[in-house]
Amino acid sequence: MIKLIVSDVDGTLVEDGSPELNPEIFKAILKLREKGLQVVIASGRPWASVQKAFEPVKEKIFYVSNNGAYVGCYGRCLYAYSIEPSMVKRLIERVRLYPELEIVYAGVNGDYVETENEALCRWLVDSYKFNLIRVKDLLAVEEPCVKISVYKPQGIEAAARDIYEEFNTELKVACAGDMWMDCMAKGVNKGHAVKMIQESLGITPQETMAFGDQLNDLEMLDRAYYSFAVANARDEVRKAARFQADSNVNNGVLKILKQLL
């Protein structure tokens, strides 16, 4: 019997960076909750972005945001895992050596940028609904950092390969689509966060259904027997998942949820 539904957002429920969710998703979540199922939204986005995107059901879901660095529910942070300040400093200074790359510094309460790229800032606010704070120097930010995201409009995996190779053994580093490379404290990932929720609720992986599309979803899918890759997922994700759903643009997750209901 399925008791827990977990879903990624960008690339899984919507195209990357899309601000609009199909309203039918909200209806499905409410029906799932009426039947006693728990719902987790597991995203690379910050919790504020998830909350705004899921406004009609914000009090009905768990938030696993910043790729598992933050776990919470409406109005309450349950867990937050920060990166050591010395590591944050090293990483920021390294990324700054690449003029084509942008940095987003994620704290629990806001996301900080030092960029002068006005179009990027507008996009983060308008599409992702970030609580964006612009500063002159990210190294002067005092709020603990839960995630550093490295951004390039396309081709982030190739552009940031040297950074990945340097920090991959010291941090959890994973690409989230073609635009983002996310860096969290070692051991932090969506799967670890889902495991914590499962254990606190007494729910097993065999009672869990999960949906994803990117490398940062792999550990999450491993926590669910009913693991689904959407049709537009990376090859590695489709090979790791037990089942396949239709693509994000064809409402693949929603179709499965309606079958479940």
pTM higher than the cut 0.85: yes
How much is the pLDDT for 210? Answer: 98
The SS3 assignment for 48 reads helix
Distance in angstroms (rounded) separating the CA atoms of residues 253 and 256: 5
Topology (CATH) of 4-80+188-260: Rossmann fold (3.40.50)
How much is the pLDDT for 127? Answer: 86
CATH 3.30.1240.10 for domain 85-185: yes
How much is the pLDDT for 175? Answer: 87
Judged by average pLDDT, the poorest of 128-132, 159-163, 243-247 is: 128-132
Distance in angstroms (rounded) separating the CA atoms of residues 128 and 79: 22
Distance in angstroms (rounded) separating the CA atoms of residues 159 and 181: 10
Distance in angstroms (rounded) separating the CA atoms of residues 204 and 226: 11
Using the predicted structure, report yes or no on whether residue 19 has a pLDDT greater than 80: no
In the chain, which residues fall in CATH 3.30.1240.10? Answer: 85-185
| Residue 226, beta-bridge partner list | 209
What number of residues does the chain have? 261
In the chain, which residues fall in CATH 3.40.50.1000? Answer: 4-80+188-260
